[in-house]
Amino acid sequence: MIQDDVCGHPSRSDSPTARHHVKIRVWTETDLEKVRTIFWETWMATYSNYIPESDLRSFLDTHYSLQQLHEMFINHDVYGFVAEVGDRVEGCMRCTNARGDGRFYVNSLYVLPAYQRAGVGTQLLGEAERQADSCGCSAVWLGVMRKNTIAYEWYRRIGFTFVQEAPFTMGGTTVTHAIGFKPIPGQKTMRVPPPITIAKRTGNAN
């Protein structure tokens, strides 16, 4: 297993009672700039020990310009959410109902470093599961960098099974993505793909 050498700020910034005040809501057009900021700040805190800042920056500008985020915003198969405490946006999530392959993906899930470990990510993922369920999908799928051990282990702990690995390129750096799913209770049984498929992926930075 590749050892992780990064990730987040391991401090608990909010008291457990603060979890009750987190509101998950659909993103609005005015959130998009903040969403881009959340991407950047969490990428820098999480990935910059193994992906150079210049690669993160070029990936952000290539895939997540305000215009591209706006295109995602108006796409009916894209589901965007933010996590808000009062008027402070602490995290965001972008999902896609990939009708072609019948999968519901969490493409991006980020909580600002200062607000991690206070239940925000769990609540956002819960929303993804509700959305997948309402789309009739049998599972939530996502990819996570294998070096992002904290997130990888967290997903496993909350019920994800990783079944594929694929190279994932950000700028000039290629890392290994683990791709996995969590079944939606009550939905029909899903077919799981063969264990390892290598395919080049870009565009989803999870």
Ligand X SMILES: CC(C)(COP(=O)(O)OP(=O)(O)OC[C@H]1O[C@@H](n2cnc3c(N)ncnc32)[C@H](O)[C@@H]1OP(=O)(O)O)[C@@H](O)C(=O)NCCC(=O)NCCS
What is the DSSP secondary-structure string of 99-160?
Answer: TTTTEEEEEEEEE-GGGTTSSHHHHHHHHHHHHHHHTT-SEEEEEEETT-HHHHHHHHHTT-
We find the least distance from the C-beta atom of residue 145 to ligand X, in angstroms, to be 7
Give the tokens for residue 82: 């933010």
Please identify, using beta-carbon distances, which residue of 12 and 70 lies nearer to ligand X: 12
Residue nearest to ligand X (CB): 121
Binding site for ligand X (CB under 6 A): 7-8, 10, 42, 46, 109-111, 116-122, 144, 148, 150-151, 154, 157, 206
Please identify, using beta-carbon distances, which residue of 123 and 138 lies nearer to ligand X: 123
Please identify, using beta-carbon distances, which residue of 38 and 69 lies nearer to ligand X: 38
CA 174-180-182 angle, to 5 degrees, is: 155
We find the least distance from the C-beta atom of residue 158 to ligand X, in angstroms, to be 8
We find the least distance from the C-beta atom of residue 24 to ligand X, in angstroms, to be 12
**Residue 168 CA neighbour count, 13 Å, CB half:** 25
